[in-house]
Chains A and B, each alone.
Chain A
Amino acid sequence: MGLKGRDLISIRDLSREEIEEILKASRRMIPYAEGQRAGHQLDDRLLVMAFFEPSTRTRLSFETAAQRLGARCVTIADPTASSMRKGESLHDTVRMLSSYGDAIILRHPNEGSGRLAAMASDKPVINAGDGAGQHPSQTLLDLATMQESFGTLSGLRVVLLGDLKYGRTVHSLAHALAVFGAELVLSSPPSLGLPEEVREHLDQMGAKVTEVDQLHRAVRDADVLYVTRIQKERFGDETEYAKVAGSYRIDNAVLAGGKSRMIVMHPLPRTGEIAAEVDGTPHAAYFRQAFLGVPVRMALLSLILTGKAV
C-alpha cells in the first residue's frame, strides 16, 4: 500500500483499499476545490501536462486541481506543435519531460501509451486517457459521484446505458463497480453490447450482471443511470443511428418510471442523450460529476506526489 511515487495507468493498478483511500481523500479536498480553502500541498511542485490529443475537461480539471494546491504546470495542449511531429518517439519525449517536472499527466491517442510512458519515465505518470483504452481518473470520479449520492457503492444497482462496446469509460467503470460489489445492469443496442471478454472478466470476478433491453425496465429499479454517448460514426446509415439514439434518450417522462433518489450520470460531453429538461431535476448528477473531477484529481496528485492528502 501507499500511493507515493506510483504511476496510475489503469484502474486495475489499484486495490479496493487504495481506491477507498483516494475517495476518502477526495471528499476532504472538496473545500479546496471550491476555493474556500487555499491549498499548499503541492507548493513548489511542477507538473507536466502532456496532452497529445484534444481534451478540454480532463486537461483543465487536472490543471485546476494542480493549481488549487499550489503546483505550477507546463502544458502541451497542441500535439501539432510538439516534437512528436518531427518524428520523436513517445518514449524519448516522455523521458525528456520526466527530467523537467515532478510528474507527467498524459493523454495520447494510442492505447498502451500510458504504460509505455510509465516505463520511460522515472517520475510518476498519470494516464489521462490512452486512445480507446484506460482513463482511470474518470473511473475514480464516477465512483466518487455515486458514493457522494448514496454513501456507499456496494449493493448499488447501476444501469450502464448506451454504447457499451466502444465507450472507454464503461469498461473500467464496470470493473471498479464489480470490485465494490455493485450490481450491474447492461442496456445497449444489440450492435453496441459489452465486449465478450469484458463480460467474461466480470463473471470471473463474481459480479452480478444482468441485461435489460428495454429502457423503461432498466430505469425501474435503478439507483444510478450511467448514460454514454452513442456515436454517429458507429453506424452505417443515418436513419439507423437516429432510431437507436432516439430509443436511448433520457427525458423526464423516462425518469418518471424510476426511483425518486435515482441519479443520472454522463461522462460528458452529451450530444442529445439527455434532454435539457432533466438538468433542473434532482436526478441530474452529471455536472456535479464533472466538478468532482477536480477534488478527485487533487487527491490523486497529492497522494502520488506527497503520500498524503491534506
Chain B
Amino acid sequence: MRELKITPIKNGTVIDHIGNGLALEVLRIIGVRELDRDSTVSVALHVRSQKIGWKDIVKVENMELSPRNVNAIALIAPTATIAIIRDFKVQEKRAVDLPDRIGGVLKCPNPSCITNQHEPVESEFEVARRRPVVLRCTYCERLVDEFLPNLA
C-alpha cells in the first residue's frame, strides 16, 4: 500500500513550514467557508521538518491568497513559506514577509481605541520591532505582541 500523506494539487496554494500546531489558525485566516466549491483543503499536522523541527502544512486547491491573508499568516506563522501551484508546477515560492504597515488584519486590543468605535476606518499597525514582532497601533499607539486573539 502506497503511503500518501497529502496528495499533490493541480492548481492552488501550498503553505508550508507553518509552526507546529498553527495550521488551524492559518485555516481560520484563509476563511474556509469562502472557498471555491470545487476546492479541497488538505491539512497535515505535526510533520517532521529539517528546517524547524516539526511543522504543519496547508494545501488549498483553486485559490491564491490575498495580500491581507499573507500578512496575517506572516504575523502568526512567521516561518511559513507560500508556494503557488499551477498545473502541478510550483510557479512561485517565497517566505512570508511582514510589510512595515499592516492594515485590516488585526483589531486593536485597546477597547477605547478610536478604531473600535464604529468609525469608517480600518485598523492599521506599524512594525515597532521585528524580532520578535511587536506592532504599534497607528492610531492609539498601543503596542501589540499577541496576534492570535486579535485577528480581525
Contacts and interface: CB of A to CB of B under 8 A. Distances in A.
A91 interface: yes
B125 to A, nearest CB: 12
Interface stretch (B1-9, B73-81, B135-143): B135-143
Given A89-B119, A90-B119, A113 B114 contact: yes
A110 B114 contact: yes
A10 interface: yes
Contacts of B119: 89-91, 116
A111 interface: yes
Interface string A240-256: 00000000000000000
A115 B138 contact: yes
Contacts of B142: 111
B149 interface: no
Contacts of A110: 112-114, 117, 140
Size class of the A contact interface (CB-based, 8 Å): 20 to 34
A115 B114 CA distance: 9
A133 interface: yes
B141 A90 contact: no
Contacts of B140: 110-112, 115, 130-131, 133
A134 B112 CA distance: 13
A192 interface: no
Contacts of A92: 120
Nearest to A113: B114
B71 interface: no
Pick from A89, A108, A110 the residue with the most CB of B within 10 Å. Answer: A110
B139 A116 contact: yes
B112 A116 contact: no
A111 B113 contact: yes
A30 interface: no
B113 A112 contact: yes
A116 B120 CA distance: 10
Question: Interface residues of B: mostly helix, strand, loop or mixed?
Answer: loop
Interface in A6-39: 10, 12
B121 interface: yes
A86 to B, nearest CB: 13
10 closest Cβ pairs, A-B complex: A112-B139, A111-B140, A112-B140, A112-B114, A110-B114, A197-B143, A113-B114, A115-B139, A116-B114, A112-B113
A74 interface: no
Interface string A247-282: 000000000000000000000000000000000000
Nearest to A112: B139
B11 interface: no
Nearest to B143: A197
A205 interface: no
A156 interface: no
A215 B137 CA distance: 35
A82 to B, nearest CB: 15
A113 B110 CA distance: 13
B131 interface: no
B51 interface: no
Pick from B137, B138, B140 the residue with the most CB of A within 10 Å. Answer: B140
Contacts of A119: 121
Interface in A61-99: 89-92
B115 interface: yes
A132 B137 CA distance: 14
Nearest to B124: A115
Nearest to A115: B139
A134 B142 CA distance: 11
A132 B138 contact: no
B143 A90 contact: no
Contacts of B134: 197
A14 B139 CA distance: 16
Contact of B115 (A10, A112, A130, A197): A112
A134 B141 contact: yes
Given A111-B140, A131-B140, 13 more contacts: A89-B118, A90-B114, A90-B117, A110-B140, A111-B110, A112-B110, A112-B140, A112-B141, A115-B114, A115-B139, A116-B139, A132-B112, A197-B143
A133 B141 contact: yes
Interface string A268-298: 0000000000000000000000000000000
Nearest to A133: B140
